[in-house]
Amino acid sequence: MTGVSKRVLTAVAVSAVLGSLLTATPASAAESVDWQPCADAPGVDCGTVTVPLDWAHPDQGTATIALARRKATNPQARIGSVLMDPGGPGGSGTEEVKAGWSLSAAITERFDTVGFDPRGVGASTRINCGLSELIADHPQVPRNQAEFEQLAEYNRKLGESCTRITGPLAQFGDAKSVARDMDVIREALGERKLTYYGVSYGTLMGQQYAELFPDKVRALVLDSNMDHSQFTAWEFIKSETRSLQAGFGEFAAWCDRTPSCALHGRDVSEVTRDLQDKAARGELTDPRSGEPVTPLTLASIIQSNFYGPSWDRLASVLKSFADGTGASARLRADIPVNYVIPSVFCDDWRLPVHNFAELEAYRRAAAVLAPDVKINPLGWASVTGCIGWPNRTSNTQHPLQVHGAPPLLMLSSRHDPATPYAWSQTAARQSGSTLLTYDGWGHGAYFKKSTCVTKATDDYLITGKLPAAGTHCPAVEPGSANALLAGPKPPSTIGS
């Protein structure tokens, strides 16, 4: 999952409005990909497949799904294709593969690497929304019922603009539809069964593919899992916030034991809570830009620097805020944003919040759970972004049920700032999957320079052999020599 920055959002919105919808031609059951060299990425091939807009009514229009492929480096040892998705919602698999996103050399030797843009995203048929609706002022943290209603009205107008500009696709961006699209891709690639790596929100697509097409699974690696069995807004916010607060404790402990930390020798929790208090009083500003820093902004800065993690940078930012000096403050999260987030998330999750009093109770309870970070901003934005959303939730939550598929491999960092470890534990238990735990930090366990994680995952993708149940891989200390070793390249949405 990704975070939200209003300035980045504005830039994305401009692109969204200027981008035109791609027209599509009907697909046949035996469609193959007409690969052509990508104009903007030497050594990468580009292609498309065609899918129904509405899988329940496949005769009512089509959408185009964009693909990008790097061929296996050892054709004689080639096993097939590995389909990959970087998450989001809204991550572009084609752009990531063009930029060099890959699994390890052991995999790229034997598999073609194929990234795809899920429906609504990037070079696929897009979900576009109105620029004026997207950048309209609205309260991110309502202070009363009137502001709660303003937020609901903002979301309603934004959702209506998406449907008005995009058409029916705006109401069919859900992960289950994407999973059905993935089976079209599998067939078009000439694969009898699917080999897949999905990270973050890409795990939800993979989970639902295994539910829908268990007999078409060869090997699925689901890294940093979503838990689609959470049924209430509080359950979602609580699990997200509790995980982020635990991650803050890990950051503070690292600062205590690491002399190079900018806050070494200081009480990191005390410094951060003081900053939160100042932000709540409207007294905290970025010393570089002079812009105000709200509690939600401060929590977003903390969370975004936990993805890698980039603890050294976060310590410098917090120190600059506390001291009121320095030019190293960084307000904008490193995680890019995509305009399809509410269209997708609100189609996959029904997490109703009925009024300000209910929402405020959640905010206050979260602050008690997490005295340093106060709230997980990603969980908060996900829930509040659906308040008043006009389109129905078509892919509602349910416990993961996989029957008849070969064993799946799930990965998770023990301290994940975006998709809590507990989510992967739940998804693995519900599906009977094997969970490989990386006892370290950050989002996207495969990309944390752990040879233990990489080898176990690669062995599974190549041979189908799973690691032993309950396997844990030791943490790689952030900033250590081991963490700097070359390894698989993560997508830009996940820190390295």
pLDDT tens string, the chain, 496 residues long: the values are: 754 333 333 333 333 332 322 223 334 445 799 999 999 999 999 999 999 999 999 999 999 999 999 999 999 999 999 999 999 899 999 999 999 999 999 999 999 999 999 999 999 999 999 888 888 999 999 999 999 999 999 999 999 999 998 999 999 999 999 999 999 999 999 999 999 999 999 999 999 999 999 999 999 999 999 999 999 999 999 999 999 999 999 999 999 999 999 999 999 999 999 999 999 999 998 877 788 899 999 999 999 999 999 999 999 999 999 998 654 444 443 322 337 899 999 999 999 999 999 999 999 999 999 999 999 999 999 999 999 999 999 999 999 999 999 999 999 999 999 999 999 999 999 999 999 999 999 999 999 999 999 999 999 999 999 999 999 999 998 865 444 445 677 787 665 4
Tokens for 94, please give them.
């084609």
Burial class (CB in 10 A: 0-12, 13-18, 19+), 200: buried
Pairwise CA distance, residues 429 & 311, whole Å: 32
The predicted structure's pLDDT at residue 326: 54
Is 264 contained in some domain? yes
* 354: containing domain: 128-171+231-397
User: Are 333 and 404 in the same domain?
Assistant: no
Is 385 contained in some domain? yes
Q: Are 59 and 65 in contact (CB under 8 A)?
A: no
User: Are 59 and 85 in the same domain?
Assistant: yes
User: Are 199 and 78 in the same domain?
Assistant: yes
User: Are 75 and 198 in the same domain?
Assistant: yes
Block residue for tokens 């699209």: 181
User: Are 204 and 279 in the same domain?
Assistant: no
User: Of the residues 345, 370, 397, which one is the last residue of a structural domain?
Assistant: 397
Q: How many structural domains compose the chain?
A: 2
Secondary structure in 3-state letters for the chain: CCCCCHHHHHHHHHHHHHCCCCCCCCCCCCCCCCCEECCCCCCCEEEEEEEECCCCCCCCCEEEEEEEEECCCCHHHCCEEEEEECCCCCCCHHHHHHCCCCCCHHHHHHEEEEEECCCECCCCCECCCCHHHHCCCCCCCCCCHHHHHHHHHHHHHHHHHHHHHHCHHHHCCCHHHHHHHHHHHHHHCCCCCEEEEEECCHHHHHHHHHHHCHHHEEEEEEECCCCCCCCCHHHHHHHHHHHHHHHHHHHHHHHHHCCCCCCCCCCHHHHHHHHHHHHHCCCCECCCCCCECCHHHHHHHHHHCCCCCCHHHHHHHHHHHHHCCCCCCCCCCCCCCCCCHHHHHHHHCCCCCCCHHHHHHHHHHHHHHCCCCCCCHHHHHHHHCCCCCCCCCCCCCCCCCCCCCCCCEEEEEEECCCCCHHHHHHHHHHHCCEEEEEEEECCCHHHCCCHHHHHHHHHHHHHCCCCCCCCEECCCCCCCCHHHCCCCCCCCCCCC
Q: Which amino acid is at 375?
A: I
User: Are 246 and 134 in the same domain?
Assistant: yes
User: Are 320 and 453 in the same domain?
Assistant: no
Is 27 contained in some domain? no
User: Are 85 and 225 in the same domain?
Assistant: yes
Is 246 contained in some domain? yes
Is 387 contained in some domain? yes
User: Of the residues 397, 412, 447, which one is the last residue of a structural domain?
Assistant: 397
User: Are 68 and 112 in the same domain?
Assistant: yes
The predicted structure's pLDDT at residue 6: 37
User: Are 352 and 439 in the same domain?
Assistant: no
User: Of the residues 340, 367, 397, which one is the last residue of a structural domain?
Assistant: 397
User: Are 223 and 104 in the same domain?
Assistant: yes
The predicted structure's pLDDT at residue 287: 78
User: Are 206 and 70 in the same domain?
Assistant: yes
CATH code of residue 463: 3.40.50.1820
